[in-house]
Amino acid sequence: MPHEQQCLLVRLINRKHSIIKRTSLIFDEIQNIPRVLQALENRELIGKVTVDDVPQLLSVLTKPELVELADDCTDSTTATIVKSANKALFLTHCNKLNHELIAQHPITRNYIVCLFNQTVEYFLFLYFGHLKGKLNHFSMRDLGVMRTRDAQAQMQSRFENYDNAYSSYMLYAAYYEAKERIQKDYLNSEDQITEFIDSLVTPHGQQAIDSYERLVFMLAKHIASTNLAFAANLCSSLQNASAQEYWCRQAYKLGLKDEVQARLNMIIDNPLTDKLLHFAEDFLARKYKQKRTSILTDMLRANTQHLRIDETFKGSVEQGVIAYYKARGIKAFRTENYLWQNMFGLVFWHELFNLEGLGLATPFDYLPSCIKHHNFLDIANTEIHTRLDNLTSSNELLLLVTKNAAAHFGKSQGIVSWHRNILDSIKVLIEHVDLNALKHQLLAMCSNWQLYHDGYPDIMVLENNKLRFEEIKAPGDSLRRNQLLQLESLKQVGIEVCITTVDYIVDPMQPYAVIDIETTGGRANLHRITEIGLVKMVNGEVVDQWQTLINPERSIPRMITSLTGITNDMVQDAPLFADIAEELDEITSDCIFVAHNVNFDYGFIREEFARLGRPFKRPKICTVQQMRKHYKGLKSYSLANLTSYFNIEMTRHHRALSDAVAAAELLNLVNEKRLEVQEAI
In the sheet that 592-595 helps form, which strands lie side by side, from edge to edge? 541-549, 529-538, 512-519, 592-595, 620-622
Please report, for residues 107, 517, 528, 550, 564, the alpha-carbon distance to residue 554 in angstroms, rounded to integers and kept in the order given. 62, 16, 8, 11, 16
- In angstroms and rounded to an integer, the radius of gyration of the C-alpha atoms of the chain is 33
Cα angle, residue 508 at apex, residues 502 and 514 outer, rounded to 5°: 105
Which H or E run contains 622? strand 620-622
Lowest mean pLDDT of 214-218, 228-232, 293-297, name the range: 293-297
Say whether pLDDT at 221 is over 90.
Answer: yes
**Which of the four pLDDT bands, split at 50, 70 and 90, describes residue 43?**
very high
Q: Which of these, 429, 473, 416, 418, lies nearest to 331 by C-alpha position?
A: 429
Contact 192, 230 (CB under 8 A): no
Segment among 236-240, 485-489, 590-594 with least mean pLDDT: 485-489
> What ranges in 448-552 are assigned the alpha helix state H?
449-452, 481-492
Count Cβ atoms below 10 Å from residue 369 Cβ, excluding itself.
Answer: 23
d(CA 248, CA 281): 12
CA distance 172 to 582: 49
Distance CA 508, CA 366 (A): 46
What pLDDT, on a 0 to 100 scale, did the predictor assign at position 290?
65
Instruction: Name the 3-class secondary structure at 533.
Output: strand
Please give the model's pTM, rounded to 2 decimal places.
0.77
Angle between helices 241-253 and 206-223 (to 10 degrees): 30
> Taking a C-beta distance cutoff of 8 angstroms, is the pair 324, 307 a contact?
yes
Which is more confidently placed, 151 or 293? 151
Three-state secondary structure call for residue 103: helix
Residue 586 DSSP SS3:
helix
Instruction: Please state, in angstroms and rounded to a whole number, the distance separating the CA atoms of residues 102 and 104.
Output: 5
Mean pLDDT of 466-474: 93
How many degrees, rounded to 5, is the angle at CA 234 between CA 233 and CA 238? 110
Domains delineated in the chain: 3-115 (no CATH), 162-298 (1.25.40), 302-505 (no CATH), 512-680 (3.30.420.10)
Q: What is the mean pLDDT of residues 123-152?
A: 88
Segment 650-662 mean pLDDT = 82
Quick: pLDDT tens for 65-113.
Answer: 999 999 998 887 777 888 889 999 999 999 999 999 999 999 999 999 9
Between the two ends of the chain, the Cα-to-Cα distance in Å is: 81
pLDDT tens profile 430-455 = 999 999 999 999 999 999 898 899 99
CB contact set of 57 (below 8 Å; sequence gap of 6+) = 19, 49, 102, 108, 111, 113
The pLDDT tens digits of the residues spanning 607-638 come to 999 999 899 999 999 999 999 999 999 999 99
Using CA atoms, how far apart are residues 548 and 571, in angstroms rounded to an integer? 10
By CB neighbour count within 10 A (0-12 exposed, 13-18 middle, 19+ buried), where does 59 fall? Answer: exposed
Is-contact 484 296, C-beta < 8 A? yes
- In this predicted structure, the answer to whether residue 293 has a pLDDT above a threshold of 60 is no
> Rounded CA gap, 122 and 583, in Å?
54
Cα separation, 517 vs 498, in Å, equals 41
pLDDT tens for each residue of 256-273: 999 999 999 998 888 888
What does pLDDT average to over the chain?
91
Q: State how far the Cα of 110 lies from the Cα of 106, in Å rounded to an integer.
A: 7
Q: How confident is the model at residue 229, as a pLDDT?
A: 94
Query: How are beta strands 466-473 and 497-505 bridged, if at all?
Result: parallel
Helix, strand or coil for residue 261? helix
Distance from C-alpha of 286 to C-alpha of 302, rounded to nearest angstrom: 18
| Residues whose CB falls within 8 Å of the CB of residue 73, separated by 6 or more in sequence, listed in order | 94, 97, 98, 101, 102, 105
Neighbours of 176 (CB within 10 A): 12
Identify the DSSP state of 222: H
Contacts of 631 (CB under 8 A, 6+ apart): 669, 673
Query: Is residue 299 very low, low, confident or very high in pLDDT (cuts 50, 70, 90)?
Result: low
* 66 touches 94 (CB < 8 A): yes
Q: 10 Å Cβ neighbour count for 310?
A: 23
Contacts of 661 (CB under 8 A, 6+ apart): 514, 533, 535, 542, 545, 650, 651
What DSSP letter does each residue of 295-354 carry, written as one string?
A: HHHHHHHHSEEEEEEEGGGTT-HHHHHHHHHHHTT-EEEE-HHHHHHHHHHHHSHIIIII
Identify the CA nearest to 103 among candidates 53, 45, 151, 139: 53
